[in-house]
Structures are given as structure tokens and as C-alpha cells.
Amino acid sequence: MRNHLPILLVVVPLIAAPACLLLGNRRLIYLFSLVVAWLTFANSLRLLATVLVSGKLRYNIGNWAPPYGIEFVADPLSAFVAMFVSGMAAAVLAYAPRLVEVEIPAEKQHYFYSLYLTCLTGLLGITLTGDLFNVFVFLEISSLSSYALISLGKDRRAVLASLQYLFIGSIGATFFLIGVGLLYQVTGTLNMLDIARRLQELEIVNGQGIVMLASTRTLRVALAFMTVGLGIKMAVFPVHKWLPNAYTFAPNVVTCLLAATSTKVAVYVLIRLIYGIFTLEFSFDLLPMRYELILLSFLGIFTASLAAIFQSDVKKILAYSSVAQLGYMVLGVNLISAMGLSGAIVHMFNHAVIKGALFMVVGCFALRLGSVQLEDWRGAGKRLPWTSFAWVLAGLGLIGVPLTAGFISKWTLLLALAQEETWFLAGALVVSSLLAVVYVWRVVEVLYFGQPSQKVLEAKEAPLSMLVPTYGLILVMMVFGFWTEYSLGIAQQAAATMLETATMLKEVAK
Amino acid sequence: MNTVQFFGLFNYWVVIFLMMVGFYMIIARHNFIKKVIGVNIFQIAVILMYITMGKIHGGTAPIVKSEIAQHFAHHESHEDDSHEHTSSDGSKAEEHPFVDTTVYSHPLPSVLMLTAIVVGVGTTAVALSLIVRIREDYGTIEEDEALAMDRAQS
């Protein structure tokens, strides 16, 4: 049973998704998918516990030995990402039913739950698979279901945003596929570990005589294609245009799920690619990827934070803030130190929790006020005290105030920058957090110091069934703000394993 | 690069050409249907790239010839009769002096592309159904017109 955990994580929601459509009753479908989501979360916790105790877990699908068969690999990093992805999916689903009733037409609700589980399948598949082509397939499973989920939004602009996301997302996925093809062309294998090993060992004959495979141009092109493709999927600065509209016009429940999980999974693939397949020397010495990505992440942090400050739609504020926060993760990945990498990994987790909580608050307001325009939220602090206070708490986390989880990740990144003695960048990181203060404060000011709008006067407090999951996530955020053994601790272990892989591969070459 | 090398890479030139055509269509066209066609051309370019890398010069389809299959089938049944179970590959090779000298093309890239085609069909289906809904809601399938309508509204 324990050995089958990696595959169970993917197979259970995959089978449950079509099974949802067979159950006739809406209530029943909801309960069924809720059970499946929490079961998946429980499985992922067990998987994480197993991996942390006994190390890497490899699972051959259909008992075909790799590299001929496809294998699933659970190491600390992938188990950690799978844990918070399934955890957030379970939490959002527990929060969802009231909003789904209001936001999604009755005849489409069973499709919603089915698509939700399909999306979860894709996201978990990406984290656990050890096969590069499989990553592409799962990437498309999760993307296609998220296009459909976004288009469930009531506003007609949701469909437009979804289609625009589809076009740019397909370009991203196809770019990734080109990269996989080029890699396969030179290594003859799709298994990640096998590719990594062969890149270090193989030599080829070209115009300059016998050279290492790793020094050929094909490989550089492959890495470039894959990085750009993943960059589109994770909405890194210059290719982030799809994200604000997709997040804004999607149903609130869908935004909660996507904001908390999908972009992080793309960051995970980037980490795996840079550290686990290509080595550090290749990614950062042969290609000047490091400086470009650090530059882009800082440009992203600043432009997106500034854009967030001037939005009048709260969902857009948070969407732009997501682009900015993603910059922090990409920054951490490219610092190469153990500290920087663990900062990036822990920020994936912390930001998933914080952004999930914030979008849940938005959902509560949307349910009671029927609007996500900042204008309509005026003076809600008195009429919806619990919901408003949840925004304040989660907002503090987003800024990175001490005693919240957001502080831990930003502090780790700051230490990593200090370690490299890049004081200019460290200063920029602090300044960028001040921008977050501005856009979080704008909403707080409207909530507590504005004259109540007409909509607020008619509204009452959000239902308990939605406040409890929201405060649950906020509690998680607070707890991991000072007790970091299971967030930063695991992230450090995951970073250490990834760096070990990188050095191990170097040893193989010698 | 001489002429022979240039034409030797003919398929790859086609791949790059198709890729750029598809890419340009996605970026430059306003009509959603044309954009979908662009996505398809873009994906087809990648499919052609994979198929090309699987093809070996002079190679045949990767299906074992019937006489070879028969030879091995016969040999295996013989082995079962005598209850000899040889586990190591080395000893087996000695028992099989028959070597298959046929050159086969690599089947794996083609198989991968079957999956990619399925993904492409799925993407196209989702895109077209979204376009149907845009047509219902906006009354147009031109991106700039739809965006202009949204701007006018807000």
C-alpha cells in the first residue's frame, strides 16, 4: 500500500473525475469529490512522511522498469509540492459549495466538480512523474481543465479571458514539447534521471572533434525552449499578460484553486529542470540564464506591484500581486545557493496558503456584496467584521510581516541575497515589500474608513461554512510563521536533495 | 554548410517554416478561428519534428517481419518442451545464432506524437467551443471587436 502511494495520488482523482458525472445528485457529487480531495490530501501527507523518513520513493508504472517504462518519483521536493497542492485543493473544495451554488449555473455544477478533480490530477501528475513527456501530458491535462473552469465564469469576459489563456498556454506547452523533443533527440531517453546521467556521460563527434554532449547547441536550444514554455505557464514578467484577466473573470472558487496551485507547479518543473536534469554549470555558466531571470523577476516584482496599486478591482489587485510574488520564487530558484532555493520552495508553500486565503476572502465578499469592485466594498468593516478582519490578517501575510508565513520566506530570500552580498538586490526586495503594503492597505482603508456603500448596508456577515476554511488557512499561515519545522525545514531538506543531485551528477561525469 | 547538407535538413526547414507561420497567425490575426488554425499549424510543426527524428534512412516500419517472428516462436516452443530455462542473456544469444539485420525506424517518437495529437485535438475542441460561446455572447469572433465592446461597456 505504502509503495503504491505515488500512483494512488494521481489515479484516485483521475477515476473520480468521470465518476462524478455518473452520480446524478448535485449534493452527492459534492460530497463525493470532497471525500476524494481529502483522501488525496491524506495520501499526500502519508507520502511526504514516508519520503522524509526513508528517502526517495520510485514507482514503476505497470512494473515496467525505467527507462523503458514510465516511473513516478517522490523525493522531498515533489512530495512537498504534491502535499500543498492537494491540501489547497481540499481546503478550497471544503469552502466551495455556497459559492458554486451562486456563481455556476445549476446544470453545469457537476461538470465543475469533475473538472476540478481533473485539474488536480494534472497538477499532482506533474509533480510526481519522472518522465519528461509525461510532464507535458499532465501539464496539458491541468491546463485544458483550467481553461474550461475559467470559462464557467458568469461574466462574458471570462470566456474571452479563457480563450486568450488557451492560445498563449498552448504556445507555452508546445514550446515545452519542442524542448523535450530536442532533448530526446540527443539523449535517446525521456526518463529524467536517465537524461541527466547521459548528459554528463555521453560524448559526440561534431565539427570540432569529440566533445561532451553537454556542450552542444542543441541542448542550449532545448533548455531555452523549455524555460520559455514554463515561463508562460507560470506567468513570469514579460509573458504574464494572460494571468490578470484569467484570475479576475474566473469564478471565485476557480481563482482560489488556480492562484494557490497551478503557477507553483510550473515553478516546480523549472527547479527540477535546472537542478535535476541540466546541471547548474550548464544552466548558469554556459547559458547566462541566471542574470536574465533575476533581472526579469525583479522587473516583474516591481511592475506587477505597481500595476496592483492602481487597480480598482480587488481580484485584479491580487492577480497582479501573484505575478509579483512569482518573481520572488523565480529569484530564489536562480540564486543557486541552498538558502535561495529553500526560500523559493518555502515561498511556493507560503504563498499558496496566503493567496488561497485572500481569494477566499474575496469570495466571501463576492457572495454577500455581489461585487469585487473596491468601490462597493466601502465601509464593510462594520457590517462584515470577520471577513474584513480575515483580509487584514492574510494581507499582513502577503506583505511579509513577522509572525506570518510570508515573513519566513521573504526573510530566507533576504538572507540568501545577503549571503551573495548583492546588497542592491536585497534592498530592492525590501522596497518591493513596501509596495505590497500599499496595495493591501488601500483595501484595508476602504474597508474600515470608508462611508458604507449601498451594497454594504444591505449585506450581512459571510456564512460560517466559508469563514471556517478561510480562517483555517489563516491559522495555518500564522502557525507556519513561527513554527517552521514542517515548512522551511522540509524546504531546506528538499533544496539539499536537489543540490545533492546536481553534485552527484557532476561526480558521475568524473 | 554545402548544398547536400542544406537539403539533407529539408524536413527541419519545413518544421521551422511551419512553426513560424503558426506562431505568426496566433499573434497577428484577430479572427479567433484563424488563431486556432495557427495553433494547429504550430503543433503540427512539432509533430513533424518528432516524426523526422524517428526516421532512420532506409529503415522500415517497426513491425517484426513474420518469418523472424516465426523463427523465434518456434524456438521458444522448443525450449519449453525441453524444460530448459536459461536466465542469462548471454547463453540465450548463443542458442539464437539467427540475427535480425533489418533496420527499423524508431517507433517511440511516433507513439509520443499520437499522444500529442490527442492533446492537440482536445485543445482545438475546447478552443472551438469557447469561440461558439464568444459568438453567442458578443456576436463576433474578432478579438479586437470583442475587446472594444468590453471597453465601451466599462
Q: Domain with B25 in it: what CATH number?
A: 1.10.287.3510
φ, ψ dihedrals at A206, nearest 5°: -135, -160
DSSP A484: -
Query: What integer pLDDT is reported at residue B81 of this predicted model?
Result: 53
Question: How far A68 CA lies from chain B's nearest CA (Å)?
Answer: 10
Determine whether the interchain pair A147/B112 forms a contact, defined as Cβ–Cβ distance below 8 Å.
Answer: no
Burial of A250 (0-12, 13-18, 19+ CB in 10 A): buried
Q: How many CA atoms lie within 13 A of A248 on its CB side?
A: 22
Cβ–Cβ < 8 Å for A386, A509: no
Q: Is A186 on the interface with B (CB under 8 A)?
A: no
Note whether A185 contacts B46, CB cutoff 8 Å.
Answer: no
Whether residue A456 contacts residue A380, with contact meaning beta carbons closer than 8 Å, is answered with yes
Question: CA of B99 to nearest chain A CA: how many angstroms apart?
Answer: 22
Contact of A157 with chain B, judged by CB distance below 8 Å, is answered with yes
Cβ–Cβ under 8 Å, residues A150 and A115 = no
Over 50: is that where the pLDDT of B93 sits? Answer: no
The total of other beta-carbon atoms located within 10 Å of residue A472's CB is 16
> Touching check for A133 and chain B: CB below 8 Å?
yes
Q: Give the helix/strand (H/E) hosting A209.
A: strand A209-212
Question: What is the rounded CA–CA span in Å between residue A114 and residue A95?
Answer: 17
Q: Do A170 and B123 touch (CB under 8 A)?
A: yes
The residue-averaged pLDDT of B47-66 equals: 84
Q: Specify whether the CB–CB gap between A194 and A67 falls below 8 A.
A: yes
Peptide bond preceding A67: is omega within 30 degrees of 0, i.e. cis? yes
Q: Does B56 touch chain A (CB under 8 A)?
A: no
Chain B residue closest in CA terms to A133: B112
Whether B97 is covered by a domain: the verdict is: no
Residues 6+ apart with CB under 8 A from A352: A84, A85, A88, A260, A261, A264
Confidence of residue B90 (pLDDT cuts 50, 70, 90): very low
Is there a contact between A178 and B46 if contact means CB atoms under 8 Å apart? yes
Nearest CA in chain A to B1: A207
What cell does A430 get?
525590501
Domain count, chain B: 1
Looking at the domain assignment, is residue B13 inside a domain?
A: yes
Residues 6+ apart with CB under 8 A from A244: A307, A316, A319, A320, A323
pLDDT per 10-residue tile (average), chain A, 510 residues:
84 92 86 93 92 87 84 91 94 91 86 93 93 93 94 88 93 94 88 85 71 77 91 88 91 92 92 84 71 87 91 91 91 86 92 93 90 86 88 91 88 88 85 90 89 82 88 91 84 86 69
Is B134–A181 a contact, with Cβ atoms under 8 angstroms apart?
A: no
Mind telling me how many Å the CA of A275 is from chain B's nearest CA?
A: 25
Locate cell 520564487: which residue? A329
Mutate to test the interface with A, among B126, B142, B153, B154 (most CBs of A within 10 A): B126
Using the Cα atoms of residue A347, residue A412, residue A498 and residue A484 in order, give the sign of their dihedral.
negative
Q: A271 and chain B: CB distance < 8 Å anywhere?
A: no
- A160 at the B interface (CB within 8 A)? yes
Asked, for residue B100, whether it belongs to a domain, the answer is: no
Tell the residue number behind the cell numbers 466538480, with chain if given.
A113
State the residue for C-alpha cell 476540478.
Answer: A116
Place of cell 488554425: B37
pLDDT value at position A497? 85
CA dihedral in degrees (A256, A257, A263, A267; nearest 10)? 120
Q: Does B126 touch chain A (CB under 8 A)?
A: yes
Q: What cell does A410 get?
A: 521573504
Put simply, whether B23 touches A (Cβ < 8 Å) is yes
Delimit the domains of chain A by residue range: 2-509
Closest to A260 (Cα-Cα) out of A483, A437, A92, A472: A92
Q: What angle do CA A59, A61, A65 make, to 5 degrees?
A: 75
The residue of chain B with its CA nearest to that of A189 is B108
Q: What is the largest CA-CA distance in chain B?
A: 85
Residues A377 and A444 sit within 8 Å (Cβ to Cβ) = no
Q: Any CB–CB contact under 8 A between A140 and chain B?
A: yes
B120 to chain A: nearest residue by CA?
A170
From B76's Cα to the closest Cα of chain A, the distance in A is 22
Closest among A476, A308, A314, A316 to A397, alpha carbons compared:
A476
The answer to whether A443 and A376 are in contact (CB under 8 A) is no
Task: Give the pLDDT of residue B85.
Answer: 46
Instruction: Please check whether residue B76 lies inside any domain of the structure.
Output: no
Q: What is the CA radius of gyration of chain A?
A: 22
Is the Cβ of A413 closer than 8 Å to some Cβ of chain B?
Answer: no
**What is the pLDDT, as a whole number, of residue B96?**
56
**Least CB-CB distance to B133: which of A133, A159, A178?**
A159
- Cα–Cα–Cα angle for A338, A81, A134, nearest 5°? 110
Looking at residue A285, its pLDDT comes to: 67
CB-count exposure of residue A217 (10 Å: 0-12, 13-18, 19+): exposed
State the best of A115, A150, A177 to mutate against chain B, taking most chain B CBs within 10 Å.
A177
Q: Check if A159 contacts B (Cβ < 8 Å).
A: yes
Query: What per-residue confidence (pLDDT) applies to B87?
Result: 44
Q: CB contacts < 8 Å between A and B, how many?
A: 69
Q: Is residue A178 within 8 angstroms of chain B, CB to CB?
A: yes
ipTM of this predicted structure: 0.88
Are A159 and B137 in contact by the 8 Å Cβ rule? The answer is: yes
Q: Give B-chain residues touching A144 at CB under 8 angstroms.
A: 119, 122-123, 126
- CB-based contact A283:A289 (threshold 8 Å): yes
Cell matching residue A55: 528517502
In a domain, B88, yes or no: no
Q: Is residue B75 part of a domain?
A: no
Q: Does A49 touch chain B (CB under 8 A)?
A: no
Distance (Å) from the alpha carbon of A354 to chain B's nearest alpha carbon? 30
Question: Contact B46/A160, CB-based, under 8 Å?
Answer: no
Residue B26 touches chain A, beta carbons under 8 Å:
yes
User: What is d(CA A174, CA A187) in angstroms, rounded to the nearest whole number?
Assistant: 20
Within 8 A of A181 by CB-CB distance, chain B residues are: 46, 49-50, 53, 109
CA distances from A20 to A41, A102, A121, A325, B46 (A): 18, 20, 14, 35, 35
Distance, CA of B153 to CA of B136 (rounded, Å): 17
Measured between its terminal Cα atoms, the distance across chain B in Å is 57
Identify each DSSP E strand in A44-87 by its residue range. 57-60, 71-74
Torsion sign, CA atoms A434, A438, A441, A445: positive
Q: Are A477 and A405 in contact (CB under 8 A)?
A: yes
Domain boundaries, position B3: 1-55+105-154
